[in-house]
């Protein structure tokens, strides 16, 4: 059985990567502008299936001082293969009541699917919920998804999930503008493009640093082929600019990196590979 939790530290900050489950995507959703034959050949070269791209949904528990911060909440009951977050927190010895802050990097269903319990109330009753103001305003108004390459059914799923899951948080959400320290040592930084107001995070302690790229990069192949795009980015040009900025920052700082959809636990580094970048998983470092 694949691992579902992985503990590590960033300086004095204790972290646990927690898998909410996995989901299989059509390859052309993850790599929307790549000729089919080229994509199939590339996937086979890496011993990856050519008919689907299976990705984990990796939430991050951050324990620092009196704070227990949860970054993203997984997909909830979106699919039979998702919704493991609460079970894995319990196995880690953490109750929902202990979570003090829930950071939502953006409003896609696989990130906000676990914000509510079965009673429709916030699943983490004592937590404040943090999201960028731009992101919140986008999803709680009348979101324009015309630039998104997803089909109408998927667009409707995104809108309905955001409407149903975010509205109950209205009285307890903290909205961020620009870069901000969420709790000591945990910083939210703007990373727009995937969605308006999408954020990444930086964890910093004792000269150690972790860059949590969230959905700025969806697959390790996007590092090797920065021109490859996906159907989920609402503004492809901004997403590409953000992706390059974060990747360059990670490589320049030699920072540890976590990516939500990379092979679990999504932890590693971005390294130079000639004229391109390459993903080096933590267990390979």
If the chain, 285 residues long, is cut into consecutive pieces of 10 residues, what is the mean pLDDT of each piece? Answer: 85 97 96 95 94 96 96 95 96 97 98 95 97 97 88 93 96 96 97 97 95 97 92 94 93 92 96 83 69
At residue 284, the pLDDT reads: 47
Q: Which residue's entry shows tokens 């979570």?
A: 99
271 alpha carbon, distance to own chain's centre: 20
Question: Is the torsion defined by CA of 185, 190, 193, 195 positive or negative?
Answer: positive
At residue 1, the pLDDT reads: 45
243 contacts 269 by C-beta, under 8 angstroms:
no
179 contacts 188 by C-beta, under 8 angstroms:
yes
Partner residues linked to 103 by β-bridges: 71, 130
Q: Which domains does the chain have, with CATH numbers?
A: 5-284 (3.60.15.10)
Sheet holding 186-190, edge to edge: 180-183, 186-190, 199-205, 208-214, 256-259, 267-273, 276-281
3-state secondary structure of 241: helix
At residue 197, the pLDDT reads: 96
The residues near 45 (Cβ < 8 Å, ≥ 6 apart) are none
What residue spans of the chain are helical by DSSP H? 27-30, 36-45, 85-91, 109-112, 133-140, 152-166, 221-224, 236-253
């Amino acid at each position: 059985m694949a691992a579902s939790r992985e503990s590590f530290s960033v300086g004095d900050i204790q972290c646990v990567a927690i898998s909410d489950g996995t989901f299989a995507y059509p390859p052309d959703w993850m790599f929307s502008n790549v000729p089919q034959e080229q994509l199939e050949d590339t996937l086979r070269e890496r011993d990856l299936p050519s008919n689907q791209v299976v990705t984990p949904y990796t939430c991050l528990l951050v324990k620092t001082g009196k704070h227990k911060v949860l970054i993203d909440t997984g997909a909830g009951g979106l699919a039979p293969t998702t919704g493991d977050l609460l079970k894995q927190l319990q196995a880690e010895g953490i109750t929902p009541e202990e979570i003090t802050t829930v950071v939502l990097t953006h409003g896609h269903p696989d990130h906000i699917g676990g914000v509510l319990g079965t009673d429709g109330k916030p699943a983490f009753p004592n937590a404040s919920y943090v999201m960028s103001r731009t992101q919140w305003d986008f999803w709680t108004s009348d979101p324009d998804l015309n630039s998104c390459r997803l089909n109408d059914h998927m667009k409707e799923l995104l809108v309905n999930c955001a409407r149903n899951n975010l509205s109950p948080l209205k009285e307890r959400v903290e909205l961020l503008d620009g870069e901000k320290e969420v709790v000591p040592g945990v910083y939210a930084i703007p990373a727009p493009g995937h969605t308006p107001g999408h954020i990444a995070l930086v964890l910093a302690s004792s000269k150690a640093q972790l860059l949590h790229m969230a959905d700025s990069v969806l697959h390790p192949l996007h590092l090797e082929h920065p021109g490859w795009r996906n159907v989920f980015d609402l503004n492809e040009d901004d997403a590409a600019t953000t992706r390059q900025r974060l990747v360059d920052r990670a490589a320049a700082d030699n920072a540890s990196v976590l990516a939500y959809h990379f092979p679990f636990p999504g932890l590693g580094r971005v390294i130079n590979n000639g004229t391109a970048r390459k993903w080096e998983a933590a267990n390979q470092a």
